[in-house]
Structure 1
Amino acid sequence: MKQLVVRRAVLGMALGLGLGGGSGGMPQALAQTAAPKGPAVDARAVAVGYGELVHASYGDVLASALDMQKAIAVLIATPSQTAMDAARKAWLDAREFYGQTEAYRFYAGPIDNDEGPEGQLNAWPMDESYVDYVEGKPDAGFVNDPKFKITKENLVKQNERGGEENITTGWHAIEFLLWGQDLSDTGPGNRSFEDYMDGKRPHADRRRQYLQVVTELLLDDLNGLVKAWTPGPKSYRNKFDAGGMESVRKIIVGLGSLSRGELAGERMEVPLNSQDQEDEHSCFSDNTHRDMVTNALGIQNVWLGRYKRRDGSLLKVAGVADLVTARNAALATRTSEQIAKTVAATEAIQAPFDREIIGGADAPGRKRIQAAVDSATEQSKLLVQAANAIGITKLTLVQP
């Protein structure tokens, strides 16, 4: 499982290394500066604001996942192409919000501490045959094994059992059950809705059950994250709010680690080097290009203290940029511009991602991805400098 491999392989990075960075001449609309409007903020204000942002965004993920569950229930009850298309769209819509929450990882918070659900939610890459049939293996997977009882407990127990690609749960298991294998060079997988119809495909009843149960499990995990970040005397949120500069350190660990180790490294450099479809993040739906954008947006959200909610409203809180501005306004502005440049670079990546990675170094798609890698790498260096500017002298970032 790529993400857990990265998380376990953290390396120390000392601050104050003199790592440079530039703005790259971003358009005004994207190069949002960090100039605060009003009194300077302190570390507690940033920690409290971050908690508000995290709670709101996990709430939006949960709400969109509930919509997905409703669409999946229709598919299960009355399989049709219309129902399949609606379930797929609901999955894609929910991923737009989940991708932005990955900026909350990498510091042993509720998502990925020893008890955290990250490995059940977003593990990848996935051996599809562990769950259901694939080309040349019509009887593969737990779906086609009547001896296997499909329950939440059993799916959790089998997740990653015997290998990190043996994934039974989470977004990508649901994705595979909705799209099937991606056997096309120009588009996503094209699983037939008839896979869920008795008499059309063997074990359709078990496939329906598996899809229902794995979706329920995903919602359980999301509910747990919302609860952890809900204000309350015993919640993780309460401790984080009171954490001061230590909480800010954790915030920057999340931003820097996602920037370099995960986004630039695992999600873009690895498939660039391998040119293998199996190394792309959302390979069944061909949604990988959007995964890159939402990860980049998540970093920008936290840095600026801004988040566009599911209902279209804008949540504005104290951001890390505000804190850095008080110590080094030029560095804060430079970092804001670099982060905006990364968002723009990821938005330039075209779908399908598995075709962008093919070719020589001068292939247009590979150059677009490399530009995003370079920008995310540069912003991680600036985030290190930003931490140093506010007095954080030691930082541990996930490296690729």
Structure 2
Amino acid sequence: MNRLFAAALLGTSLTPMTALAADLAGVVQTYTAIAEAGYEDSLITAQALRDAVGKLVAAPSAETLVGARAAWLAARDPYQQTEVYRFGNAIVDDWEGRVNAWPLDEGLIDYVDANGYVQSSDNELATLNVIATPEFTLSGKQIDAREITPELISEVLHEADGIEANVASGYHAIEFLLWGQDLNGTGPGAGDRPWTDFVQGDGCTGGNCDRRSAYLVAATDLLVTDLEEMLANWQDGGAARAAVVEDPQAGLLAILTGMGSLSYGEQAGERMKLGLMLNDPEEEHDCFSDNTHNSHYYDGLGIRNVYLGSYSRIDGTVVAGPSLSDLVAVTDADVDARLKAELDTTVEALAAIKAAAENGFAYDQMLAPGSAEGEALIMSAVDALVTQTASIERAVAALGLSKVDFEGSDSLDNPEAVFQ
């Protein structure tokens, strides 16, 4: 279980923030504008993914499968930059599990290779394979799954029986359907689902190609709907936007909580150091597609975006305005300069992982036991993320706040517990 990493800070006076109230309002407006743009880009790329999935299902071929995979990869880049909004905003955190939950017991959805399948313990649905099972019993109730719809996925299958590993929706369910299992362990290669798994009638491999196609279409439609919902939350009149604009102090805490929690417990701990400690590719974030290097990079970039108050959109335009950096610089220029430098160092360390993966050294290979090069690359980024978190704490102190709680991780806070 994660522990909250309590950032006990110097000083309790709110005098600096009282003096900078007008500037704070501008900072929060920039924060919401970047959120709106990031979720809009996520929606646009998810709609493109839906179009590519439609082409794959209508005319399965090696080319249309490649096209759908490319669209999925493109959709991940803007979405990962929004993850910094998760921890400080309850609306986002409550919603996030529908679109980005991982790891998943993929046998809930489709066929798996039993020899290469590591499922959660005590999960009776881990091998359900709903694509091959049009009727089944769940919690004593007979379920009619003859028609695979977004409602079946979201209301019945996702986190069925209250088990988080029963991930039926979101990016990673779609990823599994497009790539299939990665059976290579810490060796080279991603998942390699054949395009014939989507062929209707003669030539279908894997069985139930019509239902597999239906599931893929429904899951992609659901992703688009979920992103439409979150975009609306950050537009004018949206609940997430109103919560921070109407109370800029709460908005400031949301910014800092999101930065610190993603930086420390989530990314440095749960997404990076834990997998390295276990040497386990099952802990890889985008494990079917071998895209984890990009997920990590864009998470780090998202943290820097909100601090600097600048986001580069998929169309090349830039959303920018008064930033948290500006606010911190007024109260402690040294803290601001230090944090900006450390954010750059983190992005550079994550970029080194990205470059290595793009040159043939995939993230799951970096996790292999005895891989000194992989460990060095990953730990360089982990250390940078932990270091910048300490400066996020300093920024909190510089702004006169008394305490902010960041998410923790046993891998960082209590390593012995990882192996218990």
The alignment's TM-score, normalised by the length of structure 2, stands at 0.84
Match of residue 269 from structure 2: 265
Matched, 1:342 2:349: no
Match of residue 165 from structure 2: 165
Matched, 1:307 2:283: no
Q: Equivalents in 1 of 2:259, 2:244: separation in Å? A: 16
Conservation of the 8 A alpha-carbon contact between 2:26 and 2:322: yes
Shift, 1:340, TM fit: 0.6
Q: Equivalents in 2 of 1:274, 1:235: separation in Å? A: 40
Which letter does structure 2 place at the counterpart of 1:299? Answer: I
Matched, 1:194 2:188: no
Q: Equivalents in 1 of 2:243, 2:96: separation in Å? A: 21
Conservation of the 8 A alpha-carbon contact between 1:303 and 1:321: yes
Match of residue 222 from structure 2: 217
Conservation of the 8 A alpha-carbon contact between 2:89 and 2:240: no
Matched, 1:256 2:257: no
Structure with greater helix percent: 2
| Residue in structure 1 matching 2:106, options 114, 117, 128 | 128
Match of residue 134 from structure 2: 146
User: After alignment, is 204-213 or 345-354 more displaced?
Assistant: 345-354
Q: Equivalents in 1 of 2:85, 2:405: separation in Å? A: 15
Instruction: String of CA shifts for 1:191-221, please: whole Å, max 9, x gaps.
Output: 0110011232211000010000011111111
| Residue in structure 2 matching 1:72, options 36, 53, 57 | 53
RMSD of aligned alpha carbons: 1.9
Conservation of the 8 A alpha-carbon contact between 1:182 and 1:283: yes
User: After alignment, is 204-213 or 102-111 more displaced?
Assistant: 102-111
For residue 92 of structure 2, give the secondary structure of its aligned residue in structure 1: coil
Conservation of the 8 A alpha-carbon contact between 2:88 and 2:256: no
Q: Equivalents in 2 of 1:146, 1:238: separation in Å? A: 43
Superposed counterparts of 1:239-250, under 5 Å = 239-250=243-254
Runs of 4+ in structure 1 deviating by more than 6 angstroms, as ranges, are: none
Q: Equivalents in 2 of 1:206, 1:153: separation in Å? A: 15
Conservation of the 8 A alpha-carbon contact between 1:40 and 1:322: no
Shift, 1:140, TM fit: 5.3
Match of residue 49 from structure 1: 30
Q: Equivalents in 1 of 2:245, 2:21: separation in Å? A: 18
Conservation of the 8 A alpha-carbon contact between 1:264 and 1:376: yes
User: After alignment, is 126-135 or 159-168 more displaced?
Assistant: 159-168
Which letter does structure 1 place at the counterpart of 2:209? Answer: A
Match of residue 404 from structure 2: 395
Instruction: String of CA shifts for 1:287-327, please: whole Å, max 9, x gaps.
Output: 00111100000001000001001101122111111100000
User: After alignment, is 259-268 or 41-50 more displaced?
Assistant: 41-50
Instruction: Give % identity.
Output: 38
Superposed counterparts of 1:11-90, under 5 Å = 11-16=5-10, 42-90=23-71
Q: Equivalents in 2 of 1:11, 1:268: separation in Å? A: 17
1:357–1:136: structure 2 CA closer, same or farther, 3 Å change rule?
Answer: closer
For residue 284 of structure 1, give the secondary structure of its aligned residue in structure 2: coil
User: After alignment, is 332-341 or 311-320 more displaced?
Assistant: 311-320
Shift, 1:161, TM fit: 1.9
Q: Equivalents in 2 of 1:78, 1:97: separation in Å? A: 28
Shift, 1:242, TM fit: 2.2
Which letter does structure 2 place at the counterpart of 1:133? Answer: Y
Flag structure 2 segments of 5+ consecutive residues without an equivalent. Answer: 12-19, 118-126, 136-144, 410-420
Q: Equivalents in 1 of 2:317, 2:191: separation in Å? A: 34
Match of residue 118 from structure 1: 96
Q: Equivalents in 2 of 1:317, 1:266: separation in Å? A: 32
Match of residue 328 from structure 1: 332
Which letter does structure 1 place at the counterpart of 2:401? Answer: I
Q: Equivalents in 2 of 1:283, 1:231: separation in Å? A: 36
Matched, 1:355 2:353: no
Shift, 1:41, TM fit: 6.6
Which letter does structure 1 place at the counterpart of 2:159? Answer: E
Shift, 1:153, TM fit: 2.2
Q: Equivalents in 2 of 1:192, 1:335: separation in Å? A: 46
How many residue pairs get matched? 368
Matched, 1:381 2:390: yes
User: After alignment, is 240-249 or 264-273 more displaced?
Assistant: 240-249
| Residue in structure 2 matching 1:155, options 153, 158, 163 | 153
1:305–1:367: structure 2 CA closer, same or farther, 3 Å change rule?
Answer: same
The alignment's TM-score, normalised by the length of structure 1, stands at 0.88
